[in-house]
Chains A and B, each alone.
Chain A
Amino acid sequence: MAKVDLNRVEMPKQEPHVRAKNFNEVALGYNAEQAKYEANRCIQCPKRSCVRGCPVNVDILDFIKAICEGNMPEAVRILKNKNSLPGICGRVCPQETQCEEVCSLGKKGAPIAIGRLERYVADWEQQQAGSARPIVDIAPASGKRAAVVGSGPAGLTCAADLAKMGHQVTIYEALHVAGGVLMYGIPEFRLPKVIVQSEVNYVKSLGVEITLDSVIGKMMSVDELLSNGYDAVFLGTGAGLPMFLHIPGENFTGIYSANEFLTRVNLMKAYLPEEYDTPLPMGRLVAVIGGGNVAMDAARCALRLGADRVYIVYRRSRVEMPARAEEVENAQEEGIIFKMLTNPLRFLGDGRGWVSAMECIEMELGEPDASGRRRPIPKPGSEFVMDVDTVVVALGTTPNPLVPSTTEGLATTSEGTVVVDKKTGQTSKPRVWAGGDVATGAATVISAMGAGKVAAASINEFLGGGTG
């Protein structure tokens, strides 16, 4: 056996100075040759630790083997057997802390680029004619019905799995398109919307019905779903409520929550003003407050929308930033300015209600806090003023109370998350399951998908179904 190449095949990307001016996808994906070379680096170790490292237990080794053998339909089948949204996961999963982190090759060199290979398989399938046809087995109809609330990653996964198990599933989505955070949150240049819609269409092809424009909790309650013929309900309503800083001046015009900013850009397509009606009034000096992936996304959108200068303002240092290293790197390459150890104190207005500046204070790091990260402490006397005319607050989100507050018997925590049994996704209310951000608080796409899968298995058991 030839010696294993310890370096992974780099994925081609748009050049930073080019991509900073367009909304096209940054990472361009492997070609067949690159994919095959990378797949061949896999030593097919018997430990199969990557499979256990995956929250939805994709048979990673097997689909990689299929790529090596040039059997792409088989690779697709293996992948989709466990993961209904591979084109999405291949792009936005933090593989470096999951499957790739435990890859045996990682001890000596670079782990297999599992995410890139997953994306390659998903994209290959998209390019084939008739890819919307289900290629997985669907169990005979059970005659049972399930309602899924929310069409984000948790809801889509739960719905797809339940459909494969033979149940009739309807997804209720509040917005005018399906996909949840995949549509309104993650920008086009990181996750093209045609990929999301094609995976949504795949879920539909399994027999799942999607009802848009339906705010459960307002148009219909969970109890009404349960009494209107649904045997079980899964809540995948996400964490949609934006957190603010609660400092003076935060309601000046020009200060957005990241949710609003990204929704205008991604869902409402404010970056295509010739075609779409939703505006995004924005200035030249943009400050994004926060250090997560959402902050990176907002900053990179602002840059692409033509801002002169875009700052990431974060109260801790680069090491503590929750964003993926790859995204921080991308943002830096594109010219985002990082102002670390900086915390806003108040916003100043221009006299007409618009934000014109932000007073900040410098921070230093003390002892670790409850999150295990070093606590930021203000440095007395270090206050300074930054000129800004647009601010995006990306501090995180909490679950939307719309469903919990209108559902009797559904226990929630003081943080507003729905209480679930982690092993099953069951809530305190009979016949109701929940999973994803609504149960955990803001987390990742793949952990939400994992929760959707766990709940689907439990619902299936409750409905008396066999294995899907």
Chain B
Amino acid sequence: MYKILCREDLTPTAHLFEVEAPSIARKAQPGQFIILMVDEKGERIPLTIADWDRRQGSVSIVVSEVGRTTSKLSRLKKGDSVAHFVGPLGKPAEIDNFGNVACLAIGYGMATIVPIARALREAGNRVYSIISAPTKTDLFGIDRLSEVSDTLIVTTSDGSYGEQGWVIEPLRHRLDAGEPIKRAFVIGSVCMMKLVSAVTKEFGIKTVVSLNPVMVDGTGMCGACRVAVGGKTKFACVDGPEFDGHEVDWNLLMARRCTYPVRLEEVATAYRCQYCGQW
């Protein structure tokens, strides 16, 4: 059993949990994920690591209520436990001093991009971050991200906070202005990552996306998470989860994420991509 040390409600349907898992905290790197089971009869679901505290021996995750398991998880309080918590899985993000970098995130990505942005900044990069949400109440993690960014742009679709718009407009604006961005890191819905990658491709900027397909074991055993990248089949759990956004077969990924069409009905609208309906 893995104890929940802290719960923070980021929005009415997005929650941050700090889970006691010292052996994972000791090894966690930016971009990696964990797999958890709420109880012995639950599903195994992958969640990107949002942060860790090696001294306290804890790992943080952000959960958006989108389906059965995440709803179950959302009912847990401080002091409760989850049955299983495994990791750190996947390859860490490639961190280097690239120069100027852009970090773009929506949804749970607003939290999970933080360790990546922090590591990039510590490596000497100038970090330019953009986050967006449909409306003010869907935003979270602004303080955390702003601490590790040189510039942070926040937009909302309805203009209730920051500039009105999405992540694409500020990015394009910056690029048009000749900002020498060398690399982009993108975490969000499939559709958002696809659209951002299309823009960065125009400008020839290498773009790293964090894919979150359906997984079961998370160790390369089942192949449920297979994605096509550069025409080759890869397993997101062991070859990823980060891939070159210009090489990903986005349509395939979208189709494979819809393995359970019924469940899409249960997805809270706030976490659906406003363009494609996926979360």
**B228 near A251: Cβ-Cβ < 8 Å:** yes
Which secondary structure dominates chain A's binding surface? loop
**B223 near A253: Cβ-Cβ < 8 Å:** no
Of the four ranges (under 10, 10 to 19, 20 to 34, 35 or more), the interface on chain A belongs to 35 or more
A263 in contact (CB, < 8 A): yes
Q: Which residue of A lies closest to B27 (CB)?
A: A219
**B89 near A353: Cβ-Cβ < 8 Å:** no
Q: Which of A30-38, A159-167, A209-217 is the interface stretch?
A: A209-217
A124 in contact (CB, < 8 A): no
Candidates A175, A184, A244; contact of B223 at CB < 8 Å: A244
Q: Which of A40-48, A273-281, A375-383, A423-431 is the interface stretch?
A: A273-281
**A278 near B44: Cβ-Cβ < 8 Å:** yes
**A176 near B83: Cβ-Cβ < 8 Å:** yes
List chain B residues, Cβ under 8 A from A256.
Answer: 223-224
B119 in contact (CB, < 8 A): no
A297 shortest CB reach to chain B, Å = 15
**B88 near A277: Cβ-Cβ < 8 Å:** no
Chain B contributes a number of interface residues (CB within 8 A of A) equal to: 38
**B216 near A260: Cβ-Cβ < 8 Å:** yes
**A218 near B256: Cβ-Cβ < 8 Å:** no
* Interface bits B77-108 vs A (CB < 8 Å: 1, else 0): 00000011111110000000000000000000
Q: Which residue of B lies closest to A250 (CB)?
A: B233
**A218 near B259: Cβ-Cβ < 8 Å:** no
**B219 near A174: Cβ-Cβ < 8 Å:** yes
Q: How far is the CA of A380 from the CA of B221 in the complex (A)?
A: 36
Report if A215-B86 is in contact (Cβ < 8 Å); known contacts: A174-B219, A352-B255.
yes
Q: Which of B10-18, B35-43, B195-203 is the interface stretch?
A: B35-43
Q: How far is the CA of A344 from the CA of B113 in the complex (A)?
A: 42
A257 in contact (CB, < 8 A): yes
A4 in contact (CB, < 8 A): no
A201 in contact (CB, < 8 A): no
A293 in contact (CB, < 8 A): no
Q: Which residue of B lies closest to A275 (CB)?
A: B41
B23 in contact (CB, < 8 A): yes
Q: How far is the CA of A183 from the CA of B256 in the complex (A)?
A: 26
**B43 near A268: Cβ-Cβ < 8 Å:** yes
A6 in contact (CB, < 8 A): no
Give the most central of A175, A184, A244: most B CB within 10 Å: A175
A400 in contact (CB, < 8 A): yes
Tell me the chain A residues, 145-194 only, with Cβ under 8 Å from chain B: 174-176, 184
**A219 near B43: Cβ-Cβ < 8 Å:** no
List chain A residues, Cβ under 8 A from B174.
Answer: none
Report if A281-B44 is in contact (Cβ < 8 Å); known contacts: A220-B23, A263-B221.
no
B141 in contact (CB, < 8 A): no
**A259 near B221: Cβ-Cβ < 8 Å:** yes
A453 in contact (CB, < 8 A): no
Q: How far is the CA of A337 from the CA of B233 in the complex (A)?
A: 30
List chain A residues, Cβ under 8 A from B238.
Answer: 401-402
Q: Which residue of A lies closest to B23 (CB)?
A: A219
List chain A residues, Cβ under 8 A from B37.
Answer: 176
Which secondary structure dominates chain B's binding surface? mixed
List chain A residues, Cβ under 8 A from B217.
Answer: 174-175, 184, 263
Q: How far is the CA of A353 from the CA of B257 in the complex (A)?
A: 10
**A263 near B216: Cβ-Cβ < 8 Å:** yes
A111 in contact (CB, < 8 A): no
Candidates A215, A253, A257, A401; contact of B259 at CB < 8 Å: A253
* Interface bits B194-232 vs A (CB < 8 Å: 1, else 0): 000000000000000000000011011111101010000
**B226 near A259: Cβ-Cβ < 8 Å:** no
Candidates B44, B89, B223; contact of A268 at CB < 8 Å: B44
* Interface bits A399-443 vs B (CB < 8 Å: 1, else 0): 011100000000000000000000000000000000000000000
A269 in contact (CB, < 8 A): yes
A53 in contact (CB, < 8 A): no
Report if A268-B255 is in contact (Cβ < 8 Å); known contacts: A257-B222, A260-B224.
no
Give the most central of A220, A244, A275, A279: most B CB within 10 Å: A279
List chain A residues, Cβ under 8 A from B68.
Answer: 277
Q: How far is the CA of A44 from the CA of B216 in the complex (A)?
A: 49
List chain B residues, Cβ under 8 A from A259.
Answer: 221-223
Tell me the chain A residues, 371-406 only, with Cβ under 8 Å from chain B: 400-402
**A400 near B221: Cβ-Cβ < 8 Å:** yes
List chain B residues, Cβ under 8 A from A257.
Answer: 222-223
Report if A176-B84 is in contact (Cβ < 8 Å); known contacts: A215-B219, A251-B252.
yes
Candidates A260, A281, A353, A354; contact of B222 at CB < 8 Å: A260
**A219 near B24: Cβ-Cβ < 8 Å:** yes
Q: Which residue of B lies closest to A177 (CB)?
A: B40
B258 in contact (CB, < 8 A): yes
A242 in contact (CB, < 8 A): yes
List chain A residues, Cβ under 8 A from B223.
Answer: 242, 244, 256-257, 259-260
Q: Which residue of A lies closest to B42 (CB)?
A: A277
Q: How far is the CA of A264 from the CA of B233 in the complex (A)?
A: 21
**B84 near A215: Cβ-Cβ < 8 Å:** no
**A215 near B233: Cβ-Cβ < 8 Å:** no
Question: Could you list some 28 contacts between A and B, CB below 8 A?
Answer: A174-B217, A175-B217, A176-B44, A213-B84, A215-B87, A218-B88, A218-B89, A220-B27, A240-B219, A240-B221, A241-B220, A242-B222, A251-B256, A257-B223, A259-B221, A259-B222, A259-B223, A260-B216, A260-B223, A263-B221, A264-B216, A268-B44, A276-B42, A277-B41, A278-B44, A281-B259, A352-B255, A402-B238
Known: A250-B233, A279-B260. 18 other contacts (CB 8 A): A174-B86, A176-B44, A176-B86, A215-B87, A218-B87, A219-B86, A220-B27, A240-B220, A240-B221, A251-B228, A253-B256, A256-B224, A257-B222, A260-B223, A263-B216, A263-B217, A277-B41, A278-B42
> 4 tightest CB-CB pairs across the interface, nearest first?
A353-B255, A260-B222, A257-B223, A240-B221
